[in-house]
Structure 1
Amino acid sequence: MTINANVYDWECKVIRTIELPEHFQEEVRVDIIRKVTYSYWSNRRQPYGSYKFAGMEASAWTSKRRRTYRTSYGFGISRVPRSMFSGHWGYYFLWYARIVPNAVKGRRAHPPKPEKIWRVKVNKKEKKKAIRSAIAASIKEEMIKNRYPKLFKYIKPVIDKYKLPLIISDLEKVKKTRELKDILYSFGLKETLEYIKEFRRNRAGSGKRRGRRLERHRGILVVVSSDFNNYKLKLEGVEVEKVDRLDIDKLAPGGEPGRFIIWSDKAIEELNNLYI
């Protein structure tokens, strides 16, 4: 069974009909999509950890033998290692506990280990399967609705009018951001982009002090052919990516399939030979 789709020009007119690749008929495996997404973000983590001997370099020890130097026998104190602050006649001392986790300046009980392996391996076939599943989910209206619960009311009229997937010809010829914006507006996505722009809000927690001040909507994805080289197109709420550089984070951010994708006709042609 084959699926056909219309190709539109920049003026929203149908210019021809093409046959879609088999990717759009793939079974949607949400479990594999989430597995590959987990691997994707795990592999991007940077190992971190404290100095291996942090808190353990103090000159501290404890003796419980009777009548020995620095003995703590008979003082009614615990057996934790202690560092001497001052002393008199080798018997009366001022001690400070060190090294143990419950002491001031002691080591941590279970510190993060820099040698921990964060990488999660996934089979190559599973990665390709996840990408095909995410592509297939992008033409299922129910999954788009689940992914965009608040935004769907703006996307729904576009889906009803132009159907899925939305394919526009010669997107590679777009030179300016204004041109891309006008094309999307002509297809009825003005309210969608305005909602995405207003979605910005301050992040809760410490992330706003670490270069992640704002939470932003991932918005929609525009897929172009591998010949595209105009990286100046920066429109809030729109991600532009080459078809040969797609990954699971672009197609299903957060492991949630059903992203609204706009394809160029050349990208659809190249897709026949990719991720199979």
Structure 2
Amino acid sequence: MNEVLLKFKQLDLSPYIQPLPEKPAEKLKVYGIDGAYVADIEAPLHFLEPIRPDLIRRAYLSALSARFQPKGVYEGAGKEHSCESFGVGLGIARIPRYKGSLWPRGCFAPNTRGGRRAHPPKVEKKLHEEINKKEKKLAIRSAIAATAYRSWVAARGHVVEKVPSLPVVVVGDAEKINRAKEAKKLFEALGLWPDVERAAEGVKIRAGKGKMRGRRYKEPKSVLVVVSDLNAPLIAAVRNFPGVDVVAVNNLNILVLAPGGVPGRLTLWTAPAVEKLRGLFL
């Protein structure tokens, strides 16, 4: 036994040990519209949660499947024919056949042309992946915490070289911006605009029949803007930027925080939204 323990101690386990992410900040830096540092505010407990990619993926699948619509088939599909089996003794298959000629082709049976389906989609099928309420809230808090780690945000593919600090928090006056031109200056001052350009360059035409069904383009996800109120003028100013989503803090969900179930979205918070976050999802 001692020899086994000795050999185990001599093994090099460094390739299998992942380094811990950087320590979460207990203070959040607030920046002005011009990108200058303004003050520090205490971070909500959401940003101090441990990051759980497994739970985030589970909550994402639950939220995504909640949008699925039950579907089935018409009860009479493949059965509305005047057909009958010839019976036994003729040396042919006993499947139902169309009436009206000596050797008509088969119908009605699942293995015949024009016949019914053996196992069609059923309305009773359970499509929604259910999740506990506490698990859902924990997943949202974990996804919020992932927005504060530069390593998680960069691993998701966002451009963060010019971002001063994460999470990016801007003063409440930014919610009054009502022009895209001014919003672009705000993004440039905070180092967020390169990620919007990355999303613009990644817009592709869909390679399937979805082009004919109202979803012609595929657009990468870029910055998520979190405001305190749905009536904020900033929503109209940034909603047309490539890949940018805007959401009120009380409407935060796992679909916008971790698109595809992958945590670490580049997020711009307004100071009033951060203050409002303190009493949510707990």
Q: Give the alignment's TM-score, normalised by structure 2.
A: 0.85
Q: Which residue of 1 aligns with 2:68?
A: 45
Q: Which residue of 1 aligns with 2:103?
A: 94
CA displacement 1:211-263 (0-9 Å, x = unmatched):
11111011110111126443423222321111000000010001000001111
Matches of 2:45 and 2:206, distance apart in 1:
40
Match of 2:125 among 116, 128, 141: 116
Amino acid aligned to 2:39: R
* Corresponding residue SS for 2:236: coil
Moved over 3 A (4+): 227-231
Q: Which residue of 2 aligns with 1:200?
A: 203
Cα offset, 1:63, TM superposition: 4.2
* Corresponding residue SS for 1:126: helix
CA contact (8 A) 1:84 1:96 kept: no
Q: Is the counterpart of residue 181 in structure 1 residue 184 in structure 2?
A: yes
Q: Is the counterpart of residue 57 in structure 1 residue 80 in structure 2?
A: yes
Amino acid aligned to 2:200: K
Q: Which residue of 1 aligns with 2:242?
A: 236
CA displacement 1:62-100 (0-9 Å, x = unmatched):
243xxxxxxx52x321111112123xxxxxx23221111
Note the aligned Cα RMSD (angstroms): 1.7
Q: Which residue of 1 aligns with 2:19?
A: none
* Corresponding residue SS for 2:128: coil
Q: Which residue of 1 aligns with 2:168?
A: 166
Cα offset, 1:6, TM superposition: 1.3
Amino acid aligned to 2:97: R
Q: Is the counterpart of residue 266 in structure 1 residue 257 in structure 2?
A: no
Q: Which residue of 2 aligns with 1:156?
A: 161
Q: Which residue of 2 aligns with 1:107?
A: 116
* Corresponding residue SS for 1:15: strand
* Corresponding residue SS for 2:103: strand
Matches of 2:27 and 2:192, distance apart in 1:
23
Cα offset, 1:188, TM superposition: 2.6
Q: Which residue of 1 aligns with 2:8?
A: none
Amino acid aligned to 1:169: V
CA displacement 1:161-199 (0-9 Å, x = unmatched):
x21111100222111222211110122333322221111
Amino acid aligned to 2:207: A
Cα offset, 1:38, TM superposition: 0.5
CA contact (8 A) 2:149 2:167 kept: no
Structure 1 residues not aligned, in runs of 5+:
65-71, 87-92
Amino acid aligned to 1:11: D
* Corresponding residue SS for 2:99: strand
CA contact (8 A) 2:162 2:190 kept: no
* Corresponding residue SS for 1:193: helix
Q: Is the counterpart of residue 85 in structure 1 residue 90 in structure 2?
A: no
* Corresponding residue SS for 1:34: helix
* Corresponding residue SS for 1:157: coil
User: CA 1:146 to 1:83, structure 2 compared with 1: closer, same or farther past 3 Å?
Assistant: same
User: CA 1:227 to 1:253, structure 2 compared with 1: closer, same or farther past 3 Å?
Assistant: closer
CA contact (8 A) 2:84 2:99 kept: no
Q: Which residue of 2 aligns with 1:246?
A: 252
Matches of 1:188 and 1:42, distance apart in 2:
35
Matches of 2:137 and 2:149, distance apart in 1:
19
Cα offset, 1:58, TM superposition: 1.7
Structure 2 residues not aligned, in runs of 5+:
1-23
* Corresponding residue SS for 1:96: coil
Q: Identify, as 1 or 2, the structure richer in strand.
A: 1
* Corresponding residue SS for 1:115: coil
CA displacement 1:98-153 (0-9 Å, x = unmatched):
111221210112211233231222111111001000011111122112211xx43x
